[in-house]
Structure 1
Amino acid sequence: MDDAAMFDLAMKANVVQQGIPERIAIGGKTWRLRRISQRQAVNITNLDFDAAYYQREMKKEGIGHRKMKRLNTLYRKTFAKKAAHYVLGRWLWLIPLVYAITWRWIYNHSEEVSATINSAQMIGGRDKDFYLANLGCSKYQLVLSMKQVGESVKQMQERKESAESMLVEDASPKKEEDNKSAARLAARRTTKK
């Protein structure tokens, strides 16, 4: 991409980030970006994992020509599938076959369409902020639970050190001399009634 195209892409993503319009004009067509559900966010992340897997497989040595072409096709389809999630939003589950039709429609457009939609959502999507907020809450909860575990471990170590110091103190020679019961135990016991 040349500098003008990259600047145009950044401007479109900036407009979406500011939240002014939810529509992006790409190649003479206006695309509306909608909010996605958590289920769709999971599917989008899984598509990213698929893309990473396809990349790793394509880099392996000794792959046949036919398998390489198949992996390349699957890799490029993941971007159109991600963009279809953002275009359809939560309506995706209400209309049968609409997802299959939409991602194929985006796949048959220029690569600019899927790249702009995906980058706009990645840079300034509203759902990203909520994901980060949920992630922050989870980290905070983990810190609190680990704090309780840390405090109980600390108390256990203090008790152990206290018990060890008591054992050392009881075993000292000074204690044996002061202990009156030790003198009584030294005398032999009888079994008289």
Structure 2
Amino acid sequence: MQNDVGSTLKNIRKSKKLTQQQLAEKTNLSRTYLSDVENNRYNPSITFIKSISEGLANGDENSAKEIYTTLMNALGYVEEQSPIEKATSEYISLTEFIGTIVNSYKSSQLQIKSQKEILEKTNINEDRKNEIANFIIFHETRLKDNDKILLEALHRKNELETLIEDEIRNRRKKINELLVSIDK
């Protein structure tokens, strides 16, 4: 379902206190086409959105990006993440997940330890001993499952670290090459 890019554009333009004519002149676009887009008679091209965003931003690059994203979202486009952004996002989520697994692991270890101490007491009945033994078995199984999950997560974390480090190295190399070419 398409969103209302026209109203979004009109609201942003009005918040910048610009008329359609002023914005059209700033962007070298047709005022009538701008009006048609604002009234949802036409879907604008990405080039149009880029030009309008820059015109509305008055030279502020961050503002232009924000306006561009807002208008593209209004058109129903979702911004794609670059591979490095995806890897970084996954890495952050994965480290949080690993923390959760480690906490669960520690909790299970403490519960097993405390239940084993109770089991060693000689004054508990046989039913309670069986109950505690089953509890220990459950948590030992949970520890084994957590071991597997943790190993897989740590392996993926290492893969992501390598990918991110490689990308950083590649970007540094490109920057250095550009700097060398500027110096020449």
Judge same fold: TM > 0.5, yes or no: no
Q: TM-score range by the shorter chain?
A: 0.3 to 0.5
Q: Which has the higher strand share?
A: 1
- TM-score scaled by length of structure 2: 0.32
- TM-score scaled by length of structure 1: 0.31
Bigger relative CO (Cα 8 Å, ≥ 6 apart) = 1
